[in-house]
Amino acid sequence: MKSAKLLVIPIALLLAACGDDDSNPPLKAAHHGDDQDQSEPSEKHPHVGMTEQQIRDMYGDPDDVGHSSNGEVWHYWFNKGHAFIPYNFGYHARTGTFVFDDSGRLVSFDYNE
């Protein structure tokens, strides 16, 4: 009888520890400092003449910055996290390229969906 009580107490503690606690909300994955959905190119439409700051506000910091004869080139990889999901054979990279002139204005852009 005494051994049965000793067995019930650890089981009760274990079950109490497995209870649902709503005080801690689940963590969200981040992309460029924001939620990934906020940087999806299909939901935000850039246009020629926008400033670097306007593009940064829309998509966050670029993943890579380069230079070409046309100006400064920003590269974004919108769904980078999906590339690392095991057995995700339908993965298709969603990227964006934005070219700015010397004054920091968008002169061309291209992104795939």
The full set of domain ranges for the chain reads 2-111
pLDDT tens digit sequence for 4-60: 666 667 676 666 666 555 555 544 434 444 444 445 555 678 999 999 999 999 989
Give mean pLDDT, residues 57-69.
Answer: 93
- CB-count burial class (<10 Å; 0-12, 13-18, 19+) for 6: exposed
2-111 carries CATH number 3.30.1450.10: yes
